Amino acid sequence: MLVAGIDIGSMSTKAVIFNGQRLFKTIAPTGWSPRQAAHQVYGRLLNQSGYTEEQIDYLIATGYGRVSIDFADRVVTEITCHARGAAYLLPGTDLVIDIGGQDSKVIRINDEGQVLDFAMNDKCAAGTGRFLQVIANALGVDVSDLAALSKGQTPIALNSMCTVFAESEVIGLLTQGKAKGEIIAGLHQSIARRIASMAQRMGASNRVTFTGGVAINEGVQASLEEQLGVPVQVPKDCQLAGAIGAALIARDFNSRA
Amino acid sequence: MLVAGIDIGSMSTKAVIFNGQRLFKTIAPTGWSPRQAAHQVYGRLLNQSGYTEEQIDYLIATGYGRVSIDFADRVVTEITCHARGAAYLLPGTDLVIDIGGQDSKVIRINDEGQVLDFAMNDKCAAGTGRFLQVIANALGVDVSDLAALSKGQTPIALNSMCTVFAESEVIGLLTQGKAKGEIIAGLHQSIARRIASMAQRMGASNRVTFTGGVAINEGVQASLEEQLGVPVQVPKDCQLAGAIGAALIARDFNSRA
Ligand code: SF4
């Protein structure tokens, strides 16, 4: 059985094909058109896997851009897909923290990867990848360098929770001659605090899995561990949780059909 | 009796001297140093009024920078001063809406200008002058031109409440070729919605006074009237409510002493 999942996020589009043994995967920026991104990413994935569109038994789309694609067999909400994907990537997970480009979610799941409860933020840029992006830009560094730059640095606490006010605060700190690494360590602490308070509303857990684009940043991971007081695991394919979950749910649907 | 009030806001510093008959007033940007701004504005005001520092019987400081000034007889919170100032500027006011550069407040008052209840936002840039500033900047227009540019235009509703997300949304609208005037009308509607929901928590009113730097913008005033369904008055010295309130409270203190 050949199944596929595609997760069209605000920042990046991810797709996977699963043949029962092997996982083929592609990631690319979403850009302005989610539909175009979905076509391109899926096309590239098919090429890479050697399969044709007709061979795929079932395709599920998820993520914020899922409604704009026209070639999926079904669309499924991202909470459901992320939960299922995280349970597959790290079996035993009972709490999923996902920080994406423009949203963040905390999902409590059971051993089958089913959603028991969740909290989501897509209204406020603070607590999402966007916060890191805006501040990295103000600091004149690339978002992919944040973890390395802050490693071992003492965080300077940021007073402002709001992205806009934090940006001004950071510019003020730079003017005062503060070290970028210390400011970035403070930045990681700030986002971790916000997410930890969301997570704490979901109850205690010590099998936390951290997914989404921001999970690549080890500084945020370490800050989350500090805030939550428990280990926070980041799976190898942390960005693919949604797409993998979609493919696994596609397999279920196809088996039932 | 000669009394003075100084209101050190995040964006601008305002000071007044009141000699019982005439009001002398000055406004200047706060810049990086609230203390320096306070000294400069007050010095300029003294010059302009012809009085010396020694002649002033009582000086009260208010506003977010009030703690950093060292020459006031007393500091009083901005909620108290704004309430008192608004009641003086427009007697009969029972609800004060103040939108400043980095905060916004709604204050329910009695006929003496005393605070009965209030709500304040200084944590989120949306719903403050900062929101207008960020979006004006994205549109490449000056914040002082927003009202004129949007006059008579049909608002394009903004989906994002967050300043950061609204900024991206506006850039997207520009890319789609939407008219700036219509986007700005939507911007005014967006800030008015947020403030109206704060105001509604303070109960109904039909004697609403709108103060603060943003009150100069007639587009926001009109949108507030639409959202609240009642007239919204803007007094001539709308930016001075806090400083005037501080001077009036200074007069009370000095009379009692
Ligand atoms: S707090 Fe800041 S980042 Fe959050 S919604 Fe408000 S403006 Fe946006």
Cβ contacts of A126 within 8 Å, gap of 6 or more:
A161, A162, A163, A166, A190, A191, A194
Q: Is there a single domain that holds both residue B73 and residue B131?
A: no
Q: What are the backbone dihedrals phi and psi of residue B129, each rounded to the nearest 5 degrees, phi first?
A: -60, -25
Q: Is there a single domain that holds both residue B172 and residue B248?
A: no
Note down pLDDT in tens along chain B; length 257 residues: 999 999 999 889 999 999 989 999 999 999 888 999 999 999 999 999 999 999 999 999 999 888 888 899 999 999 999 999 999 999 999 999 999 999 999 999 999 999 999 999 999 999 999 999 999 999 999 999 999 999 999 999 999 999 999 999 999 999 999 999 999 999 999 999 999 999 999 988 889 999 999 999 999 999 999 999 999 999 999 999 999 999 999 999 999 87
Ligand 1 neighbourhood includes A163 CB (under 6 angstroms): yes
* C-alpha distance from A185 to closest chain B C-alpha (Å): 21
Q: pLDDT at position A252, please?
A: 95
**Cβ distance B206 to B230 under 8 Å?**
yes
* C-alpha distance from B145 to closest chain A C-alpha (Å): 22
Ligand 1 neighbourhood includes A135 CB (under 6 angstroms): no
Q: How far, in Å, CA of A214 to CA of A200, rounded? A: 19
Cβ contacts of B9 within 8 Å, gap of 6 or more:
B30, B63, B64, B65, B100, B101, B102, B213, B242
Q: Which of B170, B121, B130 is nearest to B150 (CA)?
A: B170
Q: How far, in Å, CA of B218 to CA of B204, rounded? A: 22
Give buried/exposed letters for B119-142 (b at 16+ CB in 10 A, else e).
bebbebbbbbbbbbbbbbebbebe
Q: How far, in Å, CA of A150 to CA of B76, rounded? A: 41
Q: Is there a single domain that holds both residue B82 and residue B164?
A: no
Q: How far, in Å, CA of A198 to CA of A142, rounded? A: 27
Pairing state between β B104-109 and B115-121: antiparallel
Q: pLDDT at position A67, please?
A: 84
Q: How far, in Å, CA of A28 to CA of A12, rounded? A: 6
Q: Is there a single domain that holds both residue A27 and residue A101?
A: no
Nearest to B130 among A32, A123, A164 (CB): A164
Q: pLDDT at position B204, please?
A: 83
Distances (CA, A) of A48 to A73, A244, B252: 21, 17, 80
Cβ contacts of B67 within 8 Å, gap of 6 or more:
B75
What residues make up the domain containing A53?
A: 1-90+239-257
Q: How far is CA B118 from the centre of its chain?
A: 15
Give percent of chain A above pLDDT 90. 92
Q: Is there a single domain that holds both residue A230 and residue A243?
A: no
Q: Is there a single domain that holds both residue A44 and residue A135?
A: no
Q: Distance, CA B254 to ligand 1 centroid (Å)?
A: 42
Distances (CA, A) of B28 to B8, B12, B54, B239: 10, 6, 23, 11
CATH number at residue A60: 3.30.420.40
Across the A/B interface, how many CB contacts are shorter than 8 Å? 36
**Cβ distance B223 to B192 under 8 Å?**
yes
Instruction: Annotate B171-223 with DSSP letters as a single string.
Output: HHHHHTT--HHHHHHHHHHHHHHHHHHHHHTT---S-EEEESGGGG-HHHHHH
Instruction: Annotate B41-61 with DSSP letters as a single string.
Output: HHHHHHHHHT--GGG--EEEE
Q: Is there a single domain that holds both residue A33 and residue A124?
A: no
pLDDT in tens, A22-53: 999 999 999 888 999 999 999 999 999 999 99
What is the reported pTM? 0.91
**Cβ distance B28 to B37 under 8 Å?**
yes
Nearest to A134 among B123, B124, B164 (CB): B164
Sign of dihedral through CA atoms B108, B113, B116, B117? positive
Q: Is there a single domain that holds both residue B192 and residue B206?
A: yes
Q: Is there a single domain that holds both residue A186 and residue A100?
A: yes
Q: Is there a single domain that holds both residue A36 and residue A97?
A: no
Q: Distance, CA B124 to ligand 1 centroid (Å)?
A: 5
Region A176-198 average pLDDT: 97
Among the residue ranges A63-72, A101-110, B211-220, the one predicted with the least confidence is A63-72
Q: Which helix (H) or strand (E) holds A88?
A: helix A78-89
Ligand 1 neighbourhood includes A126 CB (under 6 angstroms): yes
Q: How far, in Å, CA of A56 to CA of A1, rounded? A: 8
Q: How far, in Å, CA of A6 to CA of A194, rounded? A: 28
Q: pLDDT at position B257, please?
A: 77
Place of tokens 């050190």: B8
In chain B, positions 205-224, which contact chain A (CB-CB < 8 Å)? none
The DSSP call for residue A211 is E
Q: pLDDT at position A95, please?
A: 97
Q: Is there a single domain that holds both residue B62 and residue B125?
A: no
Q: pLDDT at position A83, please?
A: 97
Inspect the interface and report whether the beta carbons of B163 and A163 lie closer than 8 Å: yes
Q: pLDDT at position A10, please?
A: 87
Residue B208, strand partner residues: B95, B232
Pairing state between β A23-29 and A12-18: antiparallel
Distances (CA, A) of A15 to A4, A237, B132, B224: 7, 12, 39, 46
Q: pLDDT at position B120, please?
A: 95
Q: Distance, CA B131 to ligand 1 centroid (Å)?
A: 10
Q: Distance, CA A195 to ligand 1 centroid (Å)?
A: 15
* C-alpha distance from B164 to closest chain A C-alpha (Å): 6
Residue ranges of alpha helices (H) inside B6-54 are: 34-49
Three-point CA angle B12, A138, A225, nearest 5°: 110
Distances (CA, A) of B236 to A1, A91, A249, B9, B233: 74, 66, 63, 19, 10
**How many domains is chain B built from?**
2
Q: pLDDT at position A70, please?
A: 86
Q: Is there a single domain that holds both residue B68 and residue B107?
A: no
User: What region, left, alpha or beta, does residue A50 occupy, with left being phi > 0 and alpha being psi -120 to 50 degrees?
Assistant: left
